[in-house]
Chain A
């Protein structure tokens, strides 16, 4: 690891992304390494960075990662099946997933399936809490999840192979390679996973039937320095899924789901004194096929193609940062039930930050989209930050955010009792947040309180003729409190890290005054890890409070907590060859739990991983 990387790492570890009084070299380095600098300069001070050992521990899916390391509630239709988040009590299409700066929420469903993302392939995953539609577009209402590749020059050749085998005939292979010279760097990773996934439903004589799956994920990145001032980057990601959809406690299933996602992004960077220019072009493709009966050839499908171009100009003048972004996005989609749908979006974004003094700054952000098939609202954000001293950060921010209607919502072909609604409006929300962080060398504390008011929430309801159609009907208010605590201690060769969070969420439908379904009032997480020489040990848990499963709050799922225990031992076989054996026991207390009603999750299960690094 070179000097600058180490410097950056230290910065990230200690202060998150908001390092005050950064040296210029770090700033420039960040801009080189990262693609999404909006997170760096125009974040709302409430970002959690997950990387290194955390990504190794819970890196197999975004579901697994966020369950144990965030306040987000994950609804998983059985292990490995479709999974969606509820962030600060919002719904799945109100969380944006941002891949190297590009919003990748599906234009068919408005969501990302969190079991189709493999976090261990990224250099870091960041959880940005709160509204971010100005910076990250549609769906950044509850918050956004950022998948980030870093482009690192001057790094040695690294190969990593990991084989794993676990309960329910779950097996997989991960391979990663990376190398960086002065001028050129590349990284490549591939993951294969498969599972029979036929776990027993605890307390019954049933098991998880028709839940087997097979997935392949590929990530690639290339960086090339054209000159001192010019840099080219290319990112790629492909996911191929072939999953049967498992049944429930009360109904069998024989359906199958195949999905294919590919994302490509080419970026040109130009650095000149106090100015940075970026030009990005991207191509995204998604397709799914759903087989109601996996023994039969009939299927339904949907697909979209997205072409995007983005120009970003940033200039720093003394203590002012200006950033102007012009975005063009063309999406076309079709499917069994979506007629040829097209959407052209042009968006202009202005970001402005003023470091008023060494301990006070604010930023003002505004974005306007022009879309051919509906009117998109003006969205904006204001963040204010005050640092009375080096150890204290206080902030307040407010924003207006939106979620655009999906192709399904607008273009669903009328038939079979349902119909899209061309008149549908985007969902919009206002929010306010205050927070405080205390950063000491050994421990840090973060606390935030927020309020979200959402309107024009889109729901499918039968209309006068009994046809189900999406309408802007409901309003919701969410508020909550989030606290996290991190403690790190070292003595001799012993290192201890303890990282915990508690999340209180109240989300209410303003029409009915009932609580929203599938939002736990309480969630808690705790991770403790200890390392000594070549040994590492961790214990982690999350707690989900009870959730309502009906909109009138007449039925609920009980609360539960799930714990994992893991141990690993590293063997340095020679200077260039490391071997690590890892053993992990999941759900060690054999808790019978469901995060979606009637879809039990597995009891105690284990996993063995063998990792070779050379």
Chain B
């Protein structure tokens, strides 16, 4: 399976390199699939009150992957009242480019960690001023997502994409901004999220496919357990009761065998599966979010909602006729991104979840992949 996916990267290299941007017909497939993003797991802390707020203290941050072949990802800032949009704030502040394929962002106190996949680095910035604090470059290989636990950073890494055995979690010293240790893990670690006891890693499978969640003990930095969930787990959320919800996309129609998606609830006290909702074989959901007691996910051109105490999956979409590159739910609003033709500035679309209407459309950067809140 993994080789199959790698062939795709060859198409990208051959057709896009050859055609490199020769026109707008250069949209060879993007390798980077995870179209849907989970909300950053790190608790937000209110900024220390100062007389004048920092430039990016109140508002929305959008991580934009940037063009696939050659170019840089960017971060877009949108003010809280949505009246001001500022593109590429990292470059504006630091006069340098973020790097190629900005994958995700995570926060710890006043620091933001921007994970840059294809440049194999993490840009560490002040989340309110966007001034660069450090760059973590050593001992990362295809980094994906970042979380903080037990005073340390944990970063999922695919390793070399043609090697299925070298995937790992890098452990970051948050003071020294270096990788201090690595934990070898199963193929394709993607989303990562922590509670006060453990770090959970969803193994979507990188260019191949996988169906596990690893549980890491941050006191020993070793894998405590792997839990088999559905195929291609793509996003995770915590509910108010402390359960971990894992959304699995299932193997797509073009895989060797198409399999169903699943919504899985893990009891974090026992690390056992407590509930599984199976989708049909041709249903491949993604983009799990939570707002209060409502879970939201995207499926086949619609957004669905399910209560954390529901006993079965909804049959009708909550909002129909919408399709996003990534989706984030926050305080009654849904933030969807539109990557358009993947070679031009995308949009941020804001929906009011109560009225189910589109309230705002704002310009983002190229391939907007994640929405975060300052």
Contact = CB atoms under 8 A, between A and B. Distances in A.
Interface of A: 75, 77, 81-82, 84, 86, 90-93, 108-109, 111, 113, 245, 248-252, 255, 288, 290, 292-293, 296, 298, 300, 302, 336-337, 408, 412-419, 457-462, 465-468, 474, 476, 507, 509, 512, 514, 516-519, 549-552, 554, 596-599
Contacts of A476: 23
Contacts of A251: 70, 99-101, 118-119
B162 A109 contact: no
B356 interface: no
B22 A84 contact: yes
Interface of B: 3-11, 13-15, 17-30, 33, 35, 67, 69-72, 97-101, 118-120, 160-163, 207, 252-255, 340-341, 343-345, 366
A109 B100 contact: no
Chain B contact residues, majority secondary structure: loop
Given A84-B20, A596-B70, A292 B119 contact: no
A314 B343 CA distance: 49
A194 B21 CA distance: 27
A415 B6 contact: no
Contacts of A109: 14-15, 18-19
A250 B35 contact: no
Contact of A290 (B13, B99, B341, B366): B13
A571 to B, nearest CB: 43
Contact of A549 (B4, B35, B71): B71
Given A250-B99, A416-B8, A599-B70, A86 B341 contact: no
A293 B166 CA distance: 14
Contacts of B344: 550-552, 554
Given A91-B25, A474-B25, A598-B72, A550 B15 contact: no
Contacts of A419: 254
A467 B254 contact: yes
23 contacts: A75-B20, A82-B18, A91-B25, A248-B69, A249-B72, A250-B72, A250-B119, A293-B160, A293-B162, A296-B162, A298-B3, A300-B10, A337-B11, A415-B7, A416-B4, A416-B6, A417-B33, A459-B25, A466-B252, A474-B25, A509-B24, A551-B24, A599-B70
A90 B200 CA distance: 50
A249 B6 contact: no
A81 B29 CA distance: 21
Given A249-B97, A598-B71, A465 B253 contact: yes
Contact of B18 (A113, A292, A597): A113
Given A248-B70, A293-B160, A298-B3, A417 B29 contact: yes
B15 A413 contact: no
Contacts of A245: 13, 17
A551 B14 contact: no
A552 B17 contact: no
Contacts of B33: 417
B153 to A, nearest CB: 22
Contacts of B161: 292
A265 B145 CA distance: 55
A321 B84 CA distance: 69
A554 B28 contact: no
A418 B255 CA distance: 11
A417 B21 contact: no
Contacts of A77: 17, 20, 70
B345 A550 contact: yes
B225 to A, nearest CB: 30
Given A465-B252, A517-B26, A84 B70 contact: no
Given A292-B6, A552-B344, A598-B70, A91 B22 contact: yes
Please give me the 3 A-B residue pairs with the lowest Cβ-Cβ distance, nearest first. A552-B344, A468-B29, A416-B8
A466 B70 contact: no
